[in-house]
């Protein structure tokens, strides 16, 4: 079975739950008192997708403003970017839109963008309507889910959807079985953000 390394970065405002999403996905655990990330933290997890193994190299970036300038190092070469916002904080959704703009201008041309509205367990405090976010995501051809790292809602689904959107190497026999090239994406794919 072919193993593909897929670089994935998480972007978004500070405190929206990027690290918690990764912890839930990789460790299946949740810690409400997680420390703010410095620079970025790195984790991996391998999942099977159809007849391939996808090894996610996950760069979970710091949301704090002072690390903002480092982001290009993490999205450079990424197959996918997960942009996270907090459904209970309107302003985190605006930050998300800025990230989408930045990726469009400077990110890899065929990067799969996924939008995660985290903390959906806190529906009472909701500030961002699911429909609004969904419409926005559709308009940029991004994956969209509302997630709860705390209650383990839609976390695996998010990554499965990313696997699904990443072009299979089978479409290009010359690269299959011999690693892959992220940039080699069949032109038929319309789902990417650009």
Partner 1 sequence: MSLRKRDEIDGVGGSAKLAGSPEAPEERVPGRCLSLLPWDRFSAWLHCVCVVGFDLELGQAVEVVYPQHAKLSDKEKTNICYLSFPDSNSGCLGDTQFCFRFRQSSSRKLSWHCLLDQFDRDLPIYLKKDPAYYYGYVYFRQVQDKTLKRGYFQKSLVLVSKLPYIHFFHIVLGHIAPEYFEKNEPFLEAACSDIDRWPSPVPGKTLHLPIMGIVIKVRIPTCHDKPGTTEVLQTAHQPATQISIALPTIHEVDLFRCFLPVFFHIQMLWELVLLGEPLVVMAPSPSESSETVLALVSCISPLKYYSDFRPYFTIHDSEFKEYTTRTQAPPSVILGVTNPFFAKTLQHWPHIIRIGDIKLAGEIPKQVKVKKLKNLKTLDSKPGVYTSYKPYLNRDEDIIKQLQKGVQQKRPAEAQSIILRRYFLELTQSFIIPLERYVASLMPLQKSISPWKSPPQLKPFNQEEFMKTLEKAGPQLTSRLKGDWIGLYRHFLKSPNFDGWFRTRRKDMTQKLEALHLEALCNEDLLFWSQKHSEVETVDLVLKLKDKLADGENLPAKPGTMEKLQTHIDSIILALPEDLQGILIKTGKT
Rule CB under 8 A: say whether 25 interacts with partner 1: no
Interacting stretch for partner 1, rule CB under 8 A, among 72-80, 91-99, 137-145, 162-170?
A: 72-80
Interacting stretch for partner 1, rule CB under 8 A, among 61-69, 120-128, 138-146, 158-166?
A: 61-69
- Beta partners for residue 40, in sequence order: 61
Task: Kindly state the smallest distance separating residue 99's Cβ from partner 1, in Å.
Answer: 16
Among 43, 41, 40, 21, residue whose Cα is nearest residue 30: 21
Contacting partner 1 (CB under 8 A), which of 135, 170, 178, 186? 178
Interacting stretch for partner 1, rule CB under 8 A, among 123-131, 137-145, 152-160, 176-184?
A: 176-184
Rule CB under 8 A: say whether 101 interacts with partner 1: no
Q: Which residue has the tokens 């978004």?
A: 12
Q: Each residue of 116-149: b (16+ CB within 10 Å) or e?
A: bbbbbbeeeebebeeeebbebbeebebbbbbbbb
Q: Which two tokens stand for residue 136?
A: 């926005």
> Measured from the CB atom, is 125 or 194 closer to partner 1?
194
- Beta partners for residue 83, in sequence order: 11, 115
In sequence order, the 6+-apart residues with CB closer than 8 A to the CB of 104 are: 193, 194
The residues of the shown chain that bind partner 1, judged by CB under 8 A, are 3, 5, 7, 9, 26-27, 38-46, 53, 55, 57, 59, 62, 66-67, 69-70, 73-74, 76-77, 178-183
């Amino acid at each position: 079975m072919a193993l593909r390394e897929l670089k994935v970065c998480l972007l978004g405002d500070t405190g929206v739950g990027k690290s918690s999403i990764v912890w839930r996905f990789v460790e299946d655990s949740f810690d409400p008192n997680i420390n703010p990330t410095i620079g970025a933290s790195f984790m991996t997890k391998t999942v099977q997708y159809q007849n391939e193994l996808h090894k996610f190299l996950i760069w979970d970036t710091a949301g704090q403003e002072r690390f903002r300038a480092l982001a290009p190092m993490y999205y450079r070469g990424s197959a996918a970017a997960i942009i996270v916002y907090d459904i209970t904080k309107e302003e985190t959704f605006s930050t998300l839109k800025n990230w989408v703009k930045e990726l469009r201008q400077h990110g890899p041309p065929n990067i799969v963008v996924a939008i995660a509205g985290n903390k959906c367990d806190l529906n009472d405090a909701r500030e961002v309507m699911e429909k609004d976010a969904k419409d926005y995501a559709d308009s940029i051809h991004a994956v969209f889910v509302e997630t709860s790292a705390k209650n383990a809602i839609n976390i695996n689904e998010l990554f499965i959807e990313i696997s699904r959107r990443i072009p299979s190497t089978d479409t290009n026999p010359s690269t299959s079985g011999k690693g892959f090239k992220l940039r080699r994406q069949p032109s038929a794919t319309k789902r990417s953000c650009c």
